Amino acid sequence: MKKRLVTFTMILMVLLMVLPSAFAKGATDDGGSKKMTVGFAQIKEDSPWRTTETNSVQQEAERLGIVLKLSVTDQAGQVAAIRDFITQKVDGILLAPQTRSGWDEVLQEAKNAGIPVVLLDRGVDAPESLWVTQISSDFAFEGREAAKWVAKKLDGKGKVVELFGDPAADPAILRNSGFMEVIDTYPGIEVVESKTGEWSQDKGRQVVEAWLAAGVDFDVVYAHNDGMALGAVEAMKSAGLTPGKDALIISIDAIKAAFEAIGRGDMNATVECSPLLGPLGFKSLIAATKGEPVDKYIITPDSLYDQDNYKNHPTMGF
Ligand code: AHR
Q: How far is the CA of 136 from the centre of ligand 1 (A)?
A: 10
Q: Check the CA dihedral 305-247-159-161 and report its sign.
A: negative
The CA distance from 41 to 45, in Å, is 12
Q: How far is the CA of 196 from the centre of ligand 1 (A)?
A: 13
| Pocket-testing residue among 42, 50, 198, ligand 1, by greatest number of atoms within 8 A of Cβ | 50
Q: Please state the length of the chain.
A: 318
How are beta strands 92-95 and 117-120 bridged, if at all?
parallel
Model confidence over 36-79: pLDDT tens digits?
Answer: 999 999 999 988 999 999 999 999 999 999 999 999 999 999 99
Model confidence over 20-30: pLDDT tens digits?
Answer: 333 223 334 44
What's phi and psi for 161, nearest 5 deg? -110, 140
| Pocket-testing residue among 253, 276, 300, ligand 1, by greatest number of atoms within 8 A of Cβ | 253
Please report, in tens digits, the pLDDT of each residue of the chain (318 residues total).
Answer: 344 444 444 443 333 333 333 322 333 444 444 589 999 999 999 889 999 999 999 999 999 999 999 999 999 999 999 999 999 999 999 999 999 999 999 999 999 999 999 999 999 999 999 999 999 999 999 999 999 999 999 999 999 999 999 999 999 999 999 999 999 999 999 999 999 999 999 999 999 999 999 999 999 999 999 999 999 999 999 999 999 999 999 999 999 999 999 999 999 999 999 999 999 999 999 999 999 999 999 999 999 999 999 999 999 999
How are beta strands 269-272 and 297-299 bridged, if at all?
unpaired
Pocket of ligand 1 contains residue 197 by CB under 6 Å: no
pTM, entire model:
0.89
Q: How far is the CA of 172 from the centre of ligand 1 (A)?
A: 8
Which residue has a Cα nearest atom 10 of ligand 1?
Answer: 199
Q: How far is the CA of 137 from the centre of ligand 1 (A)?
A: 10
- Helix H or strand E encompassing 297: strand 297-299
Domains of the chain and any CATH numbers: 37-136+275-300 (3.40.50.2300), 139-273 (3.40.50.2300)
Partners of residue 248 on adjacent β-strands: 220
Count of Cβ atoms closer than 10 Å to residue 214 Cβ: 8
Q: How far is the CA of 79 from the centre of ligand 1 (A)?
A: 19
Pocket of ligand 1 contains residue 52 by CB under 6 Å: no
CB distance 216 to 191 below 8 Å = no
Pocket of ligand 1 contains residue 250 by CB under 6 Å: no
Confidence at residue 15, expressed as pLDDT on a 0 to 100 scale? 39
Confidence at residue 284, expressed as pLDDT on a 0 to 100 scale? 98
| Pocket-testing residue among 45, 75, 98, 121, ligand 1, by greatest number of atoms within 8 A of Cβ | 121
3-state secondary structure of 43: strand
| Pocket-testing residue among 42, 46, 119, 273, ligand 1, by greatest number of atoms within 8 A of Cβ | 273
CB distance 176 to 164 below 8 Å = yes
The vertex-209 CA angle with 205 and 211, nearest 5°, equals 120
DSSP one-letter code for 247:
B
| Inter-CA distances, 268 with 245, 251, 308, Å | 9, 9, 9
